[in-house]
Structures are given as structure tokens and as C-alpha cells.
Amino acid sequence: MRVRILAFATAADALGPERDLDLPAGTTISDLRHRLLADFPALSPLWPRLAIAIDGRLARGEEEIPEGAEVALLPPVSGGAPDTAATAAGARAALTDQPIDVAAISAGVAGPGRGAIVLFLGTVRDSHAGRAVSGLTYSAYARMAEQKLAEIVADLEAVGTNLRAEIVHRLG
């Protein structure tokens, strides 16, 4: 059977961002682990910290991988969540490779019954652990990340009446 492997961040450094792989029918996540570690030894120190997703949902070690599946290798900073996103919240949760329009986001959550707007804007630090940082590159398993962002929006809005949330994360 053929599956598509997507790798992010340090996992992508070890085996490339995506590749098709032929596996025997009935292959489990555990079997895939053995195959990938044999073919890509650089994954070995990363594997214990990876989350594995099959078709946009987190998977466990003995779970079988279906024919044609999309299997994502997600280092800890890459996130991951089950598909529980609310449709309405999904419209206010997005990934983009363009500059984020803070004014548009503020306008989208403002309203006469809302007394404040809280923004969190991340920036790149100039150093980390004593080393200079000149920039960051963010990648995401979009299918899963957008679901998680929408879930977070829905959870925030469920806390009280008249709350409105929007999350936009820039990639690249």
C-alpha cells in the first residue's frame, strides 16, 4: 500500500518535508517507526518526542495505517489535535503566508457589547540559549493546525457571552 509522509520542523530536516512510501498492508505506526528509523537514522533522537497524525488526527503506536493515508510527523512545537473544531470558529482561525492585518482582526472581533480587545503579537527574538537568531521559519500541518486553531477559538468563545476570538498564525 502507498502512504504519504509529511514531516515538519526538525523531522523534515531528517527526512525531507514529504514523500510517498510503499508499505505492506496492515502496517502500524510502530512498524512505520522501525522502517523510518532504518531508512533515516537522523530521525532516531527525534522519534520519542514526535506526535504522529493519520489523516489529520493524532494516532497511537499500534494503530493500523490505512491505504492512501496521510501520515504526519509532528515535533512538539508543531502541535496536533483531534478534529473537534466548530464550523463558525473555523472562519476565524487561519494560517497565512502573508503579513497579518492586525486592524482587520481587531475589527472582526470588536463590537459595541465588547469592552476590550486583547492582542498577542509574536516577534522573533534576537537570541536564544546564547546564540544569535536572525529569523525563524514556521511550517504547519495545515489540515490539523487549522482544526486546532478553530477548536481554541470555540473554547474561548464558550467561556462567556458576547466573547469573540480570532487566531491568525503566519507561516514562512
pLDDT at 77: 55
| CA-CA-CA-CA dihedral for 11, 14, 17, 18, to nearest 10 | -100
Sort strands 93-96 and 167-170 into parallel, antiparallel or unpaired. Answer: parallel
In tens, the pLDDT along 129-145 reads 899 998 888 888 888 88
Name the grid cell of 170. 503566519
Going by C-alpha positions, the residue among 70, 75, 71, 88 that lies closest to residue 154 is: 88
Going by C-alpha positions, the residue among 109, 136, 134 that lies closest to residue 120 is: 109
Q: Whole-structure pTM over 0.75, yes or no?
A: no
Average pLDDT over every residue of 18-47:
93
pLDDT at 69: 96
In tens, the pLDDT along 48-101 reads 888 899 998 888 878 999 999 999 998 865 443 333 333 344 467 888 888 888
In the block, cell 464558550 appears at 158
Separation CA 74–CA 9 (nearest Å): 8
Separation CA 118–CA 111 (nearest Å): 13
pLDDT at 91: 60
**Residue 91 vs residue 128, higher pLDDT:** 128
**Residue 66 vs residue 120, higher pLDDT:** 66
For the ranges 34-38, 56-60, 125-129, 146-150, the one whose mean pLDDT is highest: 34-38
Average pLDDT over every residue of 166-172:
87
Residues 132, 126: contact at Cβ < 8 Å?
Answer: yes
Checking 154-160 for CB contacts under 8 A at 24+ apart, the result is 154/85, 154/86, 154/88, 154/89, 157/89
Query: CA-CA distances (angstroms) from residue 77 to 41, 74, 128?
Result: 21, 8, 15
Q: Write down the mean pLDDT value for the chain.
A: 84
Per DSSP, the residues of 61-82 read TTPBPPTT-EEEEE-GGG----
